Structure 1
Amino acid sequence: MGQVLPTHRLAHSRHGGLAQPAVTQAIRLLSKGPFAPDPHRAAPDRQHWSLRNVCVDPFSDLPTAYTTNDEDSHLAPSAYACNSYSWVHIFPEGKIHQAPHKTMRYFKWGVARLILEASECPDVVPIWLEGFDQVMHESRRFPRFLPRPGKHISITFGQKVDTEAVFGDMRRRWREIKERAEKNEPGVRDLPVGALNDELLNGKEAVELRKEVTKRVRDLVLEVRQTRGLPEEDPKEGLVETWIQEGPKQEGKMNDESWVRDI
């Protein structure tokens, strides 16, 4: 997702995180559009094409540009009905993680927002990738920019998930949380798809539900991983608390012999 939507990394920018506009756009791309770019609409002078605004629609008089930091402008793909129910490919770890035993980091909670907040539960297909660390390992030296030839890459697709059986109960809980938030703050009812108030973003119930959804998604990927004959992971691998023990170091070789890079 971060390669096709302008995404900020929280480790590098205060504009990153769970509520950033890229997540809103992804939720809307999984829903029935079109959507106005609110609440992240770019300034009026950034809505029309110019040499300064090249990432907007030169053939439209409608406001279709959104901003990620109150200064830039980008064409909102969800502003076009033809982009409804799009395919959104995500890497939920949120960074490069190359581990010697092919284990995974914890998944970021944005994946839960995509599943809970889309107008209909999107189809979910778990995928397991292997071999890219051999082609472009983070420890590689000169010529670092060149992929290493002669390596084997494996891409394993799991079965399409029965979303009602796996996520139906969680989406119902999300609707109940939203209904209570609307009673506490009537304006919540008018929030556009992909926009949240503080209670829905940071409230305890909402946070705990996102954790559960994210774990369920990670378990689906683990099932595909196991079909590759890899040993079972330590359950602690999927916990945020485990990775906090890495300390402040963000990138490079970690104590567990894995290599990490935030891109």
Structure 2
Amino acid sequence: MSGPAPPTRPGLPWRLASAAVMGSVGALSRGFLYGLNNVEVTGLSNLLRVLDRRKDVENRQRGLLTVCNHVAVLDDPLIWGILPLRYAVNVENLRWGLGAHDICFKNKFTTTFFSLGQVLPTHRNWHSPHGGIHQPTMTQALKLLSSPREGDGPEPPFFSTDGKDSHMAPAAYTANRNAWIHVFPEACCHQNPDSTLRYFKWGISRLILESDPAPEFIPMFVHGTQHIMPEERGWPRWAPRVGKRFRMVIGEPTDVDKVFGHHRAAWRRLVDKGDADLLRDGQEAVQLRIDVARAVRDEIEKLRESMGLKPEEDETAALAETWAKEPNKRKFRSPVDGSLINRH
């Protein structure tokens, strides 16, 4: 005898509140970008074409994974001001993001606001012992990106990030599956004069290797928000600057299997061995995550150079160990490349 069917959507009050948050923030972001700055977006049709195809939730066959560099504290939501307003209120066709638990979820008000804004509470190793790529939030992100598996029962309606808190589990609702997940794999604001990239953290590798089925993949590169919210800005520090040049390049959508198919095949071979410890910490699994994160970074680097920015000269910048010498501080000037870092 089969169990109860999973719920399709959150209740109407939650959906209306989420549409109000997402719609108002989207409208403010678009108004600020296009009304007070100079905007150049290349490849916007690449993203809109995919979103148009994904409007019918019931007919989605897979998720969407977008990836971008991170240069300013307002990158999200500001970069989504590029979307025409008709997209801003269809919350089931908008991105889910990962937000810092210690900032976005530090009290009841911010927790409610960012949850309605489709942000998942994420612990970071810099600030919390509950961080890392195996934290419960990553499980939620993977489920959102993937299709429900046949025979699975209803998902728990809530989840905890640390054994003490409680958050609504968006993956419990079938309309949220095969979702759009957006990731900033640098995981901190990196303001470098040449707009170079840091290494990409391995959470992006989990989303690529373990999602089922393989999602569509769209790389992006943003340039200019570091001038809108420069780390060395003076008073009023809270205010974004205006009259700046904002540029964004959006790559062609492709199937993750076309770019990372051999990595995913290697992962499935590891899964078939049935050793949980091997999947978590085994040398092959770790190397796969390193390789995938670097391959994703290479896709973003191509877009960066397409803007006419200086090609990367230091190949070791893609390696985590290169950046290990940085201090465990929230804000600092990196000893690696002299960039301004904000682990906001």
Separation in 1, partners of 2:137, 2:329: 26
| Residues 7 and 36 (structure 1), Cα distance of their counterparts in 2 relative to 1, 3 Å cut | farther
> Does structure 1 residue 11 correspond to structure 2 residue 126?
yes
- Displacement of 1:13 in angstroms is 0.3
1:125 counterpart = 2:218: yes
Asked if residue 251 in structure 1 is aligned to residue 344 in structure 2, the reply is no
Structure 2 residue matching 1:141: 3-state secondary structure: coil
1:176-215 alignment, distance < 5 Å: 176-180=269-273, 182=274, 184=275, 197-215=276-294
Instruction: Tell me which protein shows more strand as a share of its residues.
Output: 2
Cα distance 1:37–1:135, how it changes in 2: closer, same or farther (>3 A)?
Answer: farther
State the partner residue of 1:164: 257
Q: Which amino acid letter does the alignment assign opposite residue 102 of structure 1?
A: S
Q: Percent of pairs identical after alignment?
A: 42
Q: Alpha carbons of 1:76 and 1:36: their partners in 2 closer, same or farther (altered >3 Å)?
A: farther
Which residue of 1 is the match for residue 298 of structure 2? Answer: 219
- CA distance in structure 2 between the aligned counterparts of 1:149 and 1:37, rounded to whole angstroms: 47
Aligned to 1:88, what secondary structure does the other structure show? strand
Aligned to 2:157: 64
1:201 CA displacement: 1.2
1:164 CA displacement: 2.5
Report the CA distance shift for 1:112/1:36 in structure 2 as closer, same or farther (over 3 A): farther
For residues 231 and 203 of structure 1, the distance between their equivalents in structure 2, rounded to whole angstroms, comes to: 37
Describe the shift of the 1:150–1:37 C-alpha distance in structure 2 as closer, same or farther (beyond 3 A).
farther
1:122 Cα deviation after fit = 1.1
Aligned residue-pair number = 225
> Structure 1 residue aligned with 2:320, among 240, 246, 254?
240
Structure 2 counterpart of 1:29: 144
1:169 is displaced (CA, Å) by: 1.0
Structure-2 residue corresponding to 1:48: none
- Determine if the alignment matches structure 1 residue 85 to structure 2 residue 178: yes
RMSD after superposition:
1.7
Write the letter of the residue equivalent to 1:236: T
Cα contact 2:208–2:256 (8 A) shared by 1:
no
Whether contact under 8 Å (1:124, 1:160) holds in the other structure is: yes
Using a 3 Å threshold, how does the CA distance of structure 1 residues 139 and 163 change in structure 2: closer, same or farther? same
Q: Which runs of 5+ in 2 are unaligned?
A: 1-96, 100-118
